Structure 1
Amino acid sequence: MIRLFVGLDLPPDLCDALQRLTGGIPNARWTPPENYHITLRFIGEVDEDQCDDIHDALTEVRAPAFPLSVAGLGSFEAGSRAHTLWAGVDKEPALLHLRDKVERAVVSAGMEPERRKFQPHVTLASVKQAPLHKVQDFIAHHNLFRAPPFRVERFTLFSSELGRTGPVYTAEADYPLDLAAAAPASAAPVEAAATAEAAGPQGRGRGA
């Protein structure tokens, strides 16, 4: 069995900018910069035949390349406690378009439809054991964070394996996006997320 998800890798300069935000929350478990990503579709554990079917379906996804920005901070909470600290992602229409295409491909490969609302974000830390007021202070201090936009030119099928110090993500295949096609136009101002490829794939190693 192999544990999979589909996501977007982040450029090194953005990873460096996000890493510079980290620190100052007691008991937080900070995500290493090599694990920063934006999840498009969590898949979970599948066997090799299912993995091949998913890969084949993803090779059929056609969507345009597009610019994307990471901005703002927030947290996911359960009851009165925060459990995940994240950096927000602009709800770019082209991102939602790509996510929908990926979702249809994964379902066509035999997976159950995703029931959860799509909330694009970059996980910065697990804060289950951190004092809530420290998490809130951190978000308030850094909430004006906005990184320069980067161009999304591919999406990636990742595998995830639990290591001694946390998960290890490996890029199993890349799926290029169409660099010539026009991305869907935005009809409304950009909104930060999570408020509460035409060529064949290429295998590669996980980058920072």
Structure 2
Amino acid sequence: MRLFVGLPLSTDVRAALGALNGGIVGARWIGDESLHLSLRFIGEVSNGDERDIDLALQSVRGHPFDVTLAGVGAFDRRGRVHSVWAGVDKPDALKALHARIESALVRAGWEPEHRKFKPHVALARIKNGAATDVARYLETHAGFKAPAFTVAHFTLFESHLGNGGAHYTVLQDYPLSL
């Protein structure tokens, strides 16, 4: 099974993100039901490892906090854009939660994540999008701002890869409480 830790998004936030769909030729837009904010990709694990991950995540503590998605951006590889995303306004509390999750997983024996955490919600995957389309999209939606939502828990998801993109199953929610 392929696992990651993330935040599910409220209906109104998903609706606001859905309004960003379109305008880039060659983009594969992520469906409403699959939108989420990733906190930590874990990867392929065996069934026995799932229990260890669950125990590690149960140890994560914190207070609920609000998050606002704002702005858009793109990730590229060797100068070619491969995805567009919505960013996070004032991400400090989210970064602190990520650090606590990362620490708990490393203490449980998982390899540390080597990429810097950049909180975002992926909106589309792009294979052969025109750079002008992407630049125009980013300029058009630069002022994007979604309704704030409260993060009162985080979630362990299983990712199912398929021809139509990834689909996710909630395995466990972990409340933020001290």
Normalised-by-shorter TM-score class: over 0.9
Q: How does 1:71-82 map to 2 (within 5 A)?
A: 71-82=70-81
1:68 aligns with 2:71: no
Residue identity opposite 1:100 in structure 2: A
- Contact 2:95/2:119, CA 8 A, preserved across alignment: no
Q: How does 1:22-37 map to 2 (within 5 A)?
A: 22-37=21-36
Residue identity opposite 1:11 in structure 2: S
Percent of residue pairs bearing the same amino acid type: 48
Match of 1:166 in 2: 165
Q: How does 1:50-129 map to 2 (within 5 A)?
A: 50-129=49-128
Residue identity opposite 1:87 in structure 2: A
1:177 aligns with 2:171: no
- Give CA-to-partner distance per residue, 1:104-124, whole Å, 9 cap, x none: 111122110111100010000
- Give CA-to-partner distance per residue, 1:25-61, whole Å, 9 cap, x none: 1111000011111111000001111111000111111
Looking at structure 2, the residues matched to 60 and 132 of structure 1 have their Cα atoms a distance apart, in angstroms, of 44
Looking at structure 1, the residues matched to 114 and 126 of structure 2 have their Cα atoms a distance apart, in angstroms, of 25
Moved beyond 3 Å, runs of 4+? none
Structure 2: runs of 5+ lacking an equivalent: none
Q: Which has the higher strand share?
A: 2
- Contact 1:53/1:109, CA 8 A, preserved across alignment: yes
Number of aligned residues: 178
Looking at structure 1, the residues matched to 108 and 152 of structure 2 have their Cα atoms a distance apart, in angstroms, of 23
TM-score between both structures, scaled by the size of structure 1 = 0.83
Match of 1:181 in 2: none
Residue identity opposite 1:123 in structure 2: A
Match of 2:40 in 1: 41
Aligned-residue offset at 1:162:
1.0
Q: Give 3-state SS (helix, strand or coil) of 2:143's partner.
A: coil
- Give CA-to-partner distance per residue, 1:175-200, whole Å, 9 cap, x none: 0112xxxxxxxxxxxxxxxxxxx5xx
- Give CA-to-partner distance per residue, 1:45-93, whole Å, 9 cap, x none: 0111111100011111111100000000010011221111000012432
Q: Give 3-state SS (helix, strand or coil) of 2:100's partner.
A: helix
